[in-house]
Amino acid sequence: MKKILFTIFMVVSSLSYAQQLKSPNGDFSMEFSLLKDGTPTYKLEYKKKTLIKESKLGFELKDDEKSLLKDFTVEDTEATSFDETWKPVWGEVAEIRNHYNELAVHLKQNETDRKMIVRFRLFDDGLGFRYEFPQQENLIYFVVKEERTQFAMTGDHTAFWIPGDYNTQEYDYVESKLSEIRGKMDKAITPNASQHPMGGTGVQTALMMKSTDGIYINLHEAALIDYPAMHLNLDDKNLIFESWLTPDARGDKGYLQAPFNTPWRTIIASDDARDILASKMTLNLNEPNKIEDTSWIKPVKYIGVWWEMITGKSTWFYTNDFPSVKLGETDFENATPNGTHAANTKHVKEYIDFAAKHGFDAVLVEGWNVGWEDWFGKSKDYVFDFVTPYPDFDVEEIHNYAKSKGIKMMMHHETSGSVRNYERHLEDAYQFMNDHGYTSVKSGYVGDIIPRGEFHYGQWMVNHYQYALEKAAEHKIMVNAHEAVRPTGIRRTYPNLIGNESARGTEYQAFGGNKANHVTVLPFTRLIGGPMDYTPGIFEMDVSKLNPDNNSHVNATIANQLALYVTMYSPLQMAADLPEHYNQFLDAFQFIKDVAVDWEDSKYLEAEPGDYVTVARKAKNTGNWFVGNANGLEKRTSKISLDFLDAGKKYEATIYADAKDAHYKTNPQAYIITKKTVTSKSKLKLTSAPGGGYAISIIEK
């Protein structure tokens, strides 16, 4: 690891409050200044073009006439430079360079003598900045009414956005001009999502934009710890975004105690969309790994008893006799099995057999534990205890059988939003996992948070997710949290956070949602903060074949579904469909079996948000590469060079591509598989159908 750290103290003239900072390569230039009334501001340039116009910084405090908005003077500034290379436990690359120039501006509010530091870090791919409150006599405990961080846009950019929401990111993305957000907001809110709480121009991060002169801009946050998630509210007359924090049940935005550091506010930008995907700035703004022994943290490829319940073919619950099952009752002698409960010993063994036969690591089972009747029966007092199985699920037999086959079992904890109940049972639940060989858990937070009034993205819940993650680390358990707050790079600090959902995943294809280009937007938005458990790999697109009452359709081709294992980066990849569907297309299924889940290197070959993404990744500790292309709504011919391969070597490329007549809606299962010898001098020309794509395995000879 290489580190360079030096400090230069700069004296700021009483006549000028402006201070500039440049990125290591000089492409970015940031200027901090104070307005005449002492309001802190910043602005940002990229390649000598204004990217963020003069934007205000500060906080409005609750029950305090003197908020931290103006009347500041600069006490001191400190400039540093930092350069290191670090190795993630898992990731898209084996090594990450963390190189930035930093400016820390020490501010004092004249009337109150309160102190605040604004720390800027300028990388070659963008800017991160945060607020710091040092220990001081005049500011100890305080309540945030609102953070007033601004991002002033230079024009009416095209944006890829979802509505601001305190509980969910499960929306389809809308592509529009900034000025059109208000007019499109009502149509963006779907019946399956929460009521939009922010009004007509509030959106969520990560927000992706493109200017008229071809600059790609991404706004997000990093290192969200002990603080509410940030949304963005747009002043659409002046095209200025301002931070809007998720409130708690009382409407307060944050309870802080100095010393305290906020999360980083991030601006990633480039004139090449591929640079947005390649950026590691979000990770670099998080603290280094805090888990000393990481030998138990391993990327996972898994199958699971899940899709059949999502589609309605099977059920999570053991009996339909909801009224006869009393709260807290674990004796089901008088209850009638419904015959469709999927998490039964015999059926789970079938999944274990399939996983073992095809080289998977683990099997997820949902609906294994008592309590689902109460939830589906609309009880207000859910009784999940996370250790009591249904009578048709033999925990010990499943454990021993999976172990004999070399398969790990993946735990499922649906909290139903009853967070205090989960925390009461958490130690026993994790110990139960240790005792029965479960090394990872998929946790869920479906429904309103209990206690009532708290939101999924508020400070209270952010602290819960962190508590569950750190407690899991104590038990050497990996966490895949669904319905949790969207990630902000914390997996660098706690690499046992191997996945999140926090966006519309494949399940929405079973609910009649997800436009065909959804997967060409997610890498630029949701995945900026960390990997997603998207659950790809659906081969049977007609959901009615699983459940005649469900007329939904998966808006993708089989080739597109294969590509997602490369384009939708995650160390946690599921083959989400049913084994019988894979048995119908074993030649295409071979790619899912072969593709890696941990990578030595990644190359972004083509990218345009909403249209297409083409990525090549080198499997860790091998010479093998895998390529994926996810295509949008229009048929497109992709031209790529294989110059990332080692010169002088030959490889066998197996290409899984859309057939000529393939189409996500009318002919999604049409694909062709070809093989050819390739080298670093090879170039490929492949056509992707609407909602289609291609996947390539490139194996060293």
Q: What is the DSSP string of 12-42?
A: PPTT---EEEE-TTSSEEEEEEE-TT--EEE
The alpha carbons of the chain give a radius of gyration, in whole angstroms, of 26
Which of the 8 DSSP states describes residue 263?
A: P
What pLDDT digit, counting tens, does each position of 217-263 carry? 999 999 999 999 999 999 999 999 999 999 999 999 999 999 999 99
Closest by CA to 8, choosing from 17, 18, 21, is 21
Q: Which tokens belong to 81?
A: 């430079």
Strand blocks (E) in 91-173: 96-109, 115-123, 126-133, 141-147, 150-152, 158-161
Q: What is the DSSP letter of 172?
A: -
Q: Check residues 57 and 197 and name the one with the higher pLDDT.
A: 57
Q: What percent of the chain has pLDDT over 70?
A: 95
Rounded distance, CA 39 to CA 577, Å? 55
98 beta partners: 84
Mean pLDDT (whole number) for 194-200: 76
Residue of 477, 481, 442 lying closest to 462 (CA atoms): 481
Q: Could you give the CA distance from residue 612 to residue 501 in angstroms, rounded to a whole number?
A: 22
- Residue 598 pLDDT class (50, 70, 90 cuts): very high
Residue the block writes with tokens 């070597």: 649
**Has 474 been annotated as catalytic?**
no
**Torsion sign across C-alpha atoms 244, 458, 439, 381:** negative
Please, what is the end-to-end C-alpha distance for the chain in angstroms?
Answer: 33
Q: 3-class DSSP state for residue 145?
A: strand
- Helical H segments across 285-418, by residue range: 307-310, 345-358, 372-376, 395-404
pLDDT, average across residues 506-533: 95
Amino acid code (one letter) for 68: L
pLDDT at 510 over 60: yes
Taking all residues of the chain, what is their mean pLDDT, rounded to a whole number?
A: 94
Q: Which two tokens stand for residue 46?
A: 């990229």
Cα–Cα distance measured from residue 32 to residue 536, given in angstroms and rounded to the nearest whole number:
44
Q: Is 191 exposed, middle or buried (0-12, 13-18, 19+ CB in 10 A)?
A: exposed
Instruction: Characterize 290-321 residue by residue with b for buried, 16 or more Cβ atoms within 10 angstroms of its Cβ, and e for exposed.
Output: ebeeeeebbbbbbbbbbbbbbbbbbbbbbbbb
Distance CA 173, CA 610 (A): 9
Cβ atoms of 593 and 561 closer than 8 Å: no
* Phi, psi (deg, nearest 5) at residue 119: -110, 120
Gap between the Cα atoms of 120 and 284, Å rounded: 13
Q: Is the pLDDT of residue 1 over 50?
A: no
Listing DSSP states for 49-61 in one string gives: EEEEEEEE--EEE
CB 2 within 8 A of CB 83: yes
pLDDT-derived band at 8, boundaries 50, 70, 90? very low
Cα–Cα distance measured from residue 64 to residue 143, given in angstroms and rounded to the nearest whole number: 9
Find where tokens 């100095």 sit.
258
Strand 625-631 with 693-700, pairing:
antiparallel
Average pLDDT over residues 66-81: 96
Give per-residue pLDDT as tens, 360-376: 999 999 999 998 987 77
Angle (nearest 5°) at CA 528 between 275 and 42: 75
Cα distance between residue 349 and residue 347, in whole Å: 5
Active-site residue, from 507, 540, 580, 608: 507
Average pLDDT over residues 420-441: 97
Q: What are the structure tokens assigned to 85, written together? A: 């290379």
For residue 521, give Cα distances in angstroms to 176, 574, 665.
13, 20, 19
Q: Write the CB contacts of 340 (distance below 8 Å, at least 6 apart in sequence).
A: 313, 314, 315
pLDDT over 70 at 192, yes or no: no
pLDDT at 627 over 80: yes
Place of tokens 């010479």: 623
Q: Which of 191, 276, 220, 240 is nearest to 521 (CA)?
A: 276
Strand 408-414 with 362-365, pairing? parallel
Sign (positive or negative) of CA dihedral 246, 249, 253, 254: negative
Q: How confident is the model at residue 379 (pLDDT cuts 50, 70, 90)?
A: low
Containing 182, the helix (H) or strand (E) segment is helix 181-188
- Give residue-wise pLDDT tens across range 453-492: 899 999 999 999 999 999 999 999 999 999 999 999 999 9
Query: Please, what are the domains in the chain?
Result: 4-284 (2.70.98.10), 300-595 (3.20.20.70)
Three-state SS string over 508-577 comes to HHCCCCCCCCHHHHHHHCHHHCCCECCCCCCCCCEHHHCCCCCCCECCCCHHHHHHHHHHCCCCEEECCC
- 14: pLDDT strictly greater than 90: no
Q: pLDDT tens, 384-419?
A: 899 999 999 999 999 999 999 999 999 999 999 999
272 backbone dihedrals φ, ψ, rounded to 5°: -130, 120
- Segment (H or E) for 257: strand 254-257
**Whose CA is closest to 79, among 178, 11, 149?**
11
pLDDT in the model for residue 193: 65
459 in helix, strand or coil? helix
On the 0-12 / 13-18 / 19+ scale of CB atoms within 10 A, 470 is middle
